[in-house]
Amino acid sequence: MNHETRFEQAWQQLPMVAILRGITPDEAIPMADMLYAAGWRMLEVPLNSPDPLNSIHRLLSHCGDRMLVGAGTVLEVDQVQQLAALGAQLVVSPNCNPEVIRATRAAGMISLPGVQTATECFAALAAGAHGLKFFPAELVPPGAIRALRSVLPSHCKLLPVGGVTPDTMADYVGAGANGFGIGGALYKAGDSVATVRERALRFTEAWQRHKAQS
């Protein structure tokens, strides 16, 4: 099964990417096991975390067959190549760099670049992005998502990232977002598994309420 098929399956189960910025290799596996039990199927370790490639390698070995595992804060093509060599499945960026997107696609990985404007959205899609990360979401409120959704392809995956909480998800979904990346509202460096579990379940429950009402 290729990564695109697995991405679609994960998206159908829970269209949220857990952003584990600051996690260490020793913390990664217990956190991933908890997230999986809470219903999450996609996670990223930002490359500005401690020893991120080690964390990603451990996660891929432990749960890469049941979760989509990759990296965030991917800025350069050589980073994409490092991730491909590890067998990573997901590449997330804060910016729209067509070279990074094309390299990600060429390596068979899922590309979720950061965008804010219509120009960036269409440039990312033209380069092969699988979805669009609206970052920081504080600068792309629901009204902006609604306007962009009206001109983007209907199948396009739109993920606000940054400042999203279980209470604000509904406004974004109502505007046309159909997924999220969740960082500091889910995990901060040093948080315990038990603490993150409570937050993870609140996000899962908020999404399930949305599905039940739609």
178, 165, 176: which is closest to 206 by C-alpha?
165
176: amino acid identity, one letter: G
Which of 133, 157, 198, 205 is labelled catalytic? 133
Choose, from 4, 8, 44, 138, the residue flagged as catalytic: 44
Quick one: tokens of 40? Answer: 């999450």
44 annotated active-site: yes
C-alpha 37/C-alpha 70 separation (Å) is 19
Question: How many residues would you count in the chain?
Answer: 214
Burial of 78 per CB tally in 10 Å (0-12, 13-18, 19+): exposed
Catalytic residue flag (residue 4)? no
* Six-digit token string for 13: 């189960």
Distance CA 109, CA 80 (A): 9
> Which active-site residues does the annotation give?
44, 133
